[in-house]
Amino acid sequence: MKKFFSVLLIVSICFINIGTVGASYYLDFREDNITVARIIEIIDGEVFKVIDNLGNKPTEKIVRLIGVNTESNQEAFDYAHNHLLGKNFILSRGSNQNKLPVDRNNFEQVYLYLEYNDLLNLNLIEMGLAKVDDRYSQTERYHYLKRAEEYAKSNLIGIWNEDGSSFFEQKNRVNINTASQTQLMNLLEDTNAYMASRIINYRNRNPFNSIEEIKFADHLINHNWFNKNRDKISVVTNVKYANEYELQTLFPSASNQKVALDSLVHYRLFNDIKTIEDLKPITRDYSYFERFITLDNKRSIQNENIININTATAKEIVDASNLSASIANQIVDVRKHNYIYKNVSEILHFGTNVTSVDLQFEHTNFTAFTNINTASLNELISLFGRREMYYNTKKHFAELIVKARPIYKEEDLVSVIGSSLYNEVRPYIIVEDNTKTFININLASKDLVVGYLKLTEDEGKRFNPNVFYRNTNQLQFDYKKSVGLFSFYTNINTASKEELFLLHKDITTKIVEDIIAFRKDQPFTSIDELNYVFNNNNANVLFNSIRNYIVFY
């Protein structure tokens, strides 16, 4: 950190004259309250969660950009998410903190610099992604922000574009976790009664955590349907800014809908909604939609029920899902044979009574590998299910992990929970998504399997590449020594880049890149969608050779 500020000091000496002669919104390195921070969450277009004071005593806090008002428009949120998340910046508090308006949420108010002369507060306004918040008229950089706003206005940029439309203009959306069948059919393109009922049936078993998850509700809700409707659906509604169309989809009772809607709209018109609980006295439907509303630009919900199927107890599996105790015990029994589930779909093929319908509704409650940087407390607790432990003890270790985040290397967990516990959970954890690689023994060549798994000469002779291997009972080699290296089925939505190349000797870089691009935009949910990628690459023969060994969760 000292080295970083030494560099900043040198730069400041070089540019002090520029800052005073040119644009005085440039960063003044002589200020005492400059820190370096990393943005770890986008809450709104001008509100970020950061780890501040990097390199010294890191502190997690929420900051608001001085003088900026995006009014929660989606474009500003997307810009911040795509360009700022996970990056380091310089925070400046300015020299006249006493002239800042009171922040109702007690967020720290800052100027955020990408470089000494690159002020994000100004950039958002100049790009037409935000307006100037005139409550900050007494601050030292206010007139530069106003000048940027005038530039955006005169050049018809962003919210000031010439056709009169605005980023602040709200589109009609339905909250798919609460909307009625009629509401779904009325707004969503190509949606009939059957499809709407399938959406409702899915959410009744398991609420949608993201808009992309709607594709798992039925095979008719494919990528074409999703592309037409993605801007018309939400899983969580911003009750401060959503229009009345979306708000009415929060209320399931047609008879109560208008009364509840009017009460909510009237309340937010005359009151500042500070917490979700403020709405509790307004409507009797509060408990129905509480999970699916927000006061910020959050677009997804963290599933707090997720557990790790490789480590959770049978009770934890039951508590996290609608599966029976007997099925949960079957899932746990498979682990006694020293096999590690590589994906959730594999539990279908190991002698359990789980059905494909069960898996369709329950797969979002399970994971085979836990990202210790993003997992909920409940999922972290499930990591310790293989050892006899009191719940409070498991919770204690899970809380230690949360406190230690971010964790950059798996082995760093040793100093958090000790080497003994670390060695137990190590096979089932990751620090980044899509980093584990497995060779699919149903698809790879015999030579590749023998070499990758380091089979003995005798084991290699007994390995038959013409057998459709479904579970460990069919294996003719000691799989325990290489259990973390192979799979029977490949989850096309989570496989690493290396794993995709290992699917077949003829798979091309273009196919792999197209798969990754598709799933980055939305998950694959059917074999037809995967065929779409291969067909575009004139690889139908290759597709037919791998299709039976691909799963989607």
Confidence of residue 162 (pLDDT cuts 50, 70, 90): low
Residue 510 in this model has a pLDDT that exceeds 90:
yes
Amino acid (one-letter) located at 157: I
Supply the pLDDT for residue 243: 84
Average pLDDT over residues 271-289: 85
**pLDDT exceeds cutoff 70 at 9:** no
Q: Which helix (H) or strand (E) holds 265?
A: helix 254-270
Over residues 497-515, the mean pLDDT reads: 96
What pLDDT does 20 receive? 30
Output the CA–CA distances (angstroms, integers) from residue 320 to 364, 379, 381, in the order listed.
10, 10, 12
Strand 108-115 with 47-52, pairing: unpaired
Q: What is the pTM of this model?
A: 0.71
Whether residue 553 has pLDDT greater than 70: yes
Q: What is the pLDDT of residues 308-345, one digit of tens each?
A: 999 999 999 999 999 999 999 999 998 888 889 999 99
Q: Mean pLDDT across the stretch 27-51? A: 85
pLDDT at 97: 80
DSSP assignment of 294-317: ESS-------TT-EETTT--HHHH
- Would you place residue 169 in the very low, low, confident or very high pLDDT band (cuts 50, 70, 90)? low
What's the mean pLDDT in 176-204?
96
Q: How does the average pLDDT of the chain come out, rounded?
A: 88
pLDDT tens column, 360-395: 999 999 999 999 998 999 999 999 999 999 999 999
Choose between 58 and 199: higher pLDDT.
Answer: 199
Domains of the chain listed by start with CATH number: 33-160 (2.40.50.90), 174-294 (no CATH), 307-329+339-430 (no CATH), 439-551 (no CATH)
Exposure of 526 by Cβ count < 10 A (0-12 exposed, 13-18 middle, 19+ buried)?
middle
What integer is the mean pLDDT of 186-206? 96
The predicted model gives 171-185 an average pLDDT of 94
Q: Rounded distance, CA 171 to CA 238, Å?
A: 13
User: Quick one: tokens of 138?
Assistant: 């007494």
AA letter at 493: N
Q: For residues 250 and 232, what is the distance between their CA atoms, to the nearest angstrom?
A: 15
Give the residue-averaged pLDDT of 63-69: 94
Model confidence at 167, pLDDT cuts 50, 70, 90, reads: low
Share of the chain above pLDDT 70, in %: 92
- pLDDT for residue 352: 87
String of DSSP letters for 149-215:
HHHHHHTT-GGG-TTS--TTSPPP-EETTT--HHHHHHHSTT--HHHHHHHHHHHHHS--SSGGGGG
Query: What pLDDT shows up at residue 299?
Result: 78
Higher pLDDT, 31 or 184: 184
Whose structure tokens read 């390199």?
55
Residue 87's pLDDT is 86
Q: What is the pLDDT of residue 355?
A: 93
Q: How confident is the model at residue 67 (pLDDT cuts 50, 70, 90)?
A: very high
pLDDT above 60: residue 411:
yes
Which position has the token pair 């870089």? 509
What is the model's pLDDT at position 19?
34
The answer, yes or no, to whether residue 6 has pLDDT greater than 70, is no
| pLDDT at residue number 13 | 33
203-212, 234-243, 411-420: lowest mean pLDDT where? Answer: 234-243
The answer to whether the Cα torsion of 324, 327, 333, 335 is positive or negative is negative
Closest listed residue to residue 257, CA positions, set 179, 146, 195, 344:
179
Which of the residue ranges 171-175, 297-301, 414-418 would you say has the lowest mean pLDDT? 297-301
Given this model, what pLDDT does residue 421 score? 96
Q: What is the pLDDT of residue 115?
A: 81
Residue 255 has pLDDT above 70, yes or no: no
What's the pLDDT tens digit per position in 449-460?
Answer: 999 999 999 999
| Predicted confidence (pLDDT) at residue 175 exceeds the cutoff of 80 | yes
Q: What is the Cα–Cα distance from 301 to 207, expressed in whole angstroms?
A: 9
pLDDT digits over 203-214, tens only? Answer: 999 999 999 999
- Rounded CA separation 28/24 (Å): 8
pLDDT at 14: 39
What 3-state DSSP class applies to 354?
A: coil
pLDDT band with cut points at 50, 70 and 90 for residue 412: very high
Q: What mean pLDDT is predicted for residues 233-245?
A: 89
Query: Average pLDDT of 118-126?
Result: 91
